[in-house]
Chain A
Amino acid sequence: MSELHFFIDYARCIGCQACVQACQECDTHRGVSMIHLETIERHDSVQTAPQVCMHCEDPICARVCPADAIKQTPDGVTQSSLKPRCIGCSNCVLACPFGVPKYYGRIDQMMKCDYCYDRTSTGKRPMCATVCPSQALAFTTREEIERTRAGVAINEWWFGGERVRTKVFVVVPAKTRSLGVGLVQIHKKAALGARDDVAALLEEGA
Chain B
Amino acid sequence: MARLPTSLDALSEEFGPHPSHEPAGGWLPIGEPDRVVKTHCCFCGQQCGLQLKVKNEKVVGFEPWEEFPFNRGKLCPKGVKRYLQDEHRDRLRTPLERADGVGFRPVAWDPALDRVAAEMRRIQQTYGADAFALLTGASLTNERAYLVGKFARVALRTANIDYNGRLCMVSAAAASKKVLGIDRAANPWSDIPKADVILIAGANIGECAPITTDYIWQARERGAKIIVLDPRMTPIARTVDLFIPVKPGGDIGVFNGMLHVMIERGWIDRAFIAAHTTGWEALAEAIKRYPPSRAAEIAGVPAPMIVRAAELWGPARTSFLLHARGIEHHSKGVENCMAAINLVVATGRIGREGCGYAMVTGQGNGQGGREQGQKCDQLPGGRDIENPEHRRHIADVWGVPEHSIPHKGLSAVPILEAIHEGRIKGLLLLCFNPMVSLPDQSFIRAALEELEFFCVIDFFLSETAQHADLVLPTALMEEDEGTTTNVEGRVIHHRRVVAPPTGIREDWRILCDLAQRLDAGQHFRYRSPAEIFAELRRASRGGVSDYYGITWERIDREGGVFWPCPSPEHPGTPRLYEGARFGHPDGKAHFQAVDWRPAAEEPDAEYPIILTTGRVVAHYLSGTQTRRIGGLVDQTPEPYCEIHPRLAEQLGVRDGEMVRVESRRGAVTVRALVVRTIRPDTVFVPYHWPGERAANRATIRALDPVSNIPEYKICAVRVTPA
A interface list, Cβ under 8 A from B: 11-18, 20-22, 24-25, 27-28, 30-31, 42-48, 125, 127, 130-135, 148-150, 192, 196-199, 201-206
Complex contacts, B603 vs chain A, CB 8 Å: none
Check B76 against A133 for contact (C-beta < 8 Å): yes
- A197–B232 CA distance with the chains assembled, in angstroms: 10
Q: Which A residues lie within 8 Å of B618 (CB)?
A: 17
Q: In the complex, how many residue pairs between chain A and chain B have their CB atoms under 8 Å apart?
A: 154
A18 touches B77 (CB 8 A): yes
CB pair A27–B680 under 8 Å, yes or no, is no
Interface residues on B, range: 35 or more
Residues 209-244 (chain B) with a chain A CB within 8 angstroms: 210-211, 213-214, 217-218, 220-223, 232-236, 238-239, 242-243
The verdict on B351 contacting chain A, using a C-beta distance below 8 Å, is no
Residues of B within 8 A of A133 (CB): 71, 74-76, 210-211, 213-214
Partner of A199, one of B26, B220, B646: B646
Which single member of B76, B675, B679 contacts A43 (CB below 8 Å)?
B675
In the bound complex, residues from chain B placing their C-beta under 8 Å from that of A28 are 29
What is the distance, in angstroms, from A136's C-beta to the closest C-beta of chain B?
9
Asked if A46 meets B210 with Cβ closer than 8 Å, knowing A17-B617, A18-B80, A198-B233, the reply is no
Taking a contact as CB atoms under 8 Å apart, the answer to whether B305 and A131 are in contact is: no
The answer to whether A130 and B66 have CB atoms under 8 Å apart is yes
Residues of B within 8 A of A148 (CB): 218, 221
- Is the beta-carbon distance between A198 and B245 smaller than 8 angstroms? yes
- Cβ of B644 under 8 Å from chain A: yes
Name 28 A/B residue pairs within 8 A (Cβ), A-sorted: A12-B217, A15-B235, A16-B77, A16-B617, A17-B618, A18-B79, A18-B80, A20-B635, A28-B29, A30-B27, A30-B29, A31-B26, A43-B675, A43-B676, A125-B73, A131-B75, A131-B80, A133-B213, A135-B214, A150-B221, A150-B223, A198-B233, A198-B245, A198-B680, A199-B646, A202-B245, A202-B300, A206-B304
CB contacts (< 8 Å) of A42 on chain B: these are 673, 675
Shortest distance from the beta carbon of A36 to any chain B beta carbon, whole Å: 14
Given contacts A43-B675, A148-B221, A198-B677, contact A16 B245 (CB under 8 A): no
A172 nearest CB across to chain B (Å):
14
Separation in Å of the B66 CB from the closest CB of chain A? Answer: 7
Q: List chain A residues, Cβ under 8 A from B210.
A: 14, 16, 18, 133-134
In whole angstroms, how far apart are the Cα atoms of A140 and B416 in the complex? 52
Contacting pair A15 B245 (CB below 8 A): no
Using known A-B contacts A131-B79, A131-B80, A150-B221, determine if residue A204 contacts B66 with beta carbons closer than 8 Å: no
B166 at interface, CB cutoff 8 A: no
What CA separation (Å) do A38 and B220 show in the bound complex? 24
Across-interface contacts of B677 in A (CB, < 8 A): 45-46, 196, 198
Q: Which of B30, B66, B217, B308 neighbours the largest number of chain A CB atoms within 10 Å of its CB?
A: B217
Asked if B344 is at the interface (CB within 8 A of a chain A CB), the reply is: no
Task: Kindly identify which residue among A20, A24, A135 contacts B217, using a CB–CB cutoff of 8 Å.
Answer: A135
Q: How far is the CA of A44 from the CA of B22 in the complex (A)?
A: 35
Alpha-carbon distance between A18 and B302 when the two chains are bound, in angstroms: 36
CB contacts (< 8 Å) of A150 on chain B: these are: 220-223
From B217, B308, B645, contact of A134 by CB (8 A) = B217
Whether A202 lies near B214 (C-beta < 8 A) is no
Q: Which residues of A contact B222 (CB under 8 A)?
A: 150
Q: Which of A18, A22, A28, A125 has its CB near the most chain B CB atoms (within 10 A)? A: A18
Q: In whole angstroms, how far apart are the Cα atoms of A131 and B65 in the complex?
A: 9
B206 within 8 A of A: yes
A206 to B257, alpha carbons, bound, how many Å? Answer: 15
Task: Return the 5 tightest CB-CB contacts between A and B, nearest first.
Answer: A31-B27, A205-B302, A14-B206, A133-B210, A14-B235
Inter-subunit contact A192/B75 (CB<8 Å): no
Residues from chain A with a CB closer than 8 A to the CB of B74 are: 18, 130-133, 135
CB of B678 within 8 Å of the partner chain: yes
Give the residues from 627 to 646 in chain B that come closer than 8 angstroms, CB to CB, to chain A. Answer: 631-632, 635, 644-646
Q: Is the CB of A206 within 8 A of B242?
A: yes
Q: Report chain B residues within 8 Å CB of A130.
A: 64, 66, 73-74
CB proximity to A under 8 Å, residues B262-310: 300-305, 307-308
Residue B184 lies at the interface, judged by CB distance under 8 Å to chain A:
no
B73 and A131: CB pair below 8 A?
yes
A30-B61 Cα distance, complex, nearest whole Å:
10
Across the interface, do A14 and B236 meet the contact criterion of CB distance under 8 Å?
A: yes
Which residues from chain B contact A192 at a C-beta distance below 8 Å? 676
Are B29 and A46 in touch, CB under 8 angstroms? no
Is B479 interfacial (CB 8 A cutoff)? Answer: no
Least Cβ distance of A97 to chain B in Å? 26
Q: In the docked arrangement, what's the CA distance between A24 and B80, Å?
A: 10
Query: Which chain A residues border B220 with CB–CB below 8 Å?
Result: 150
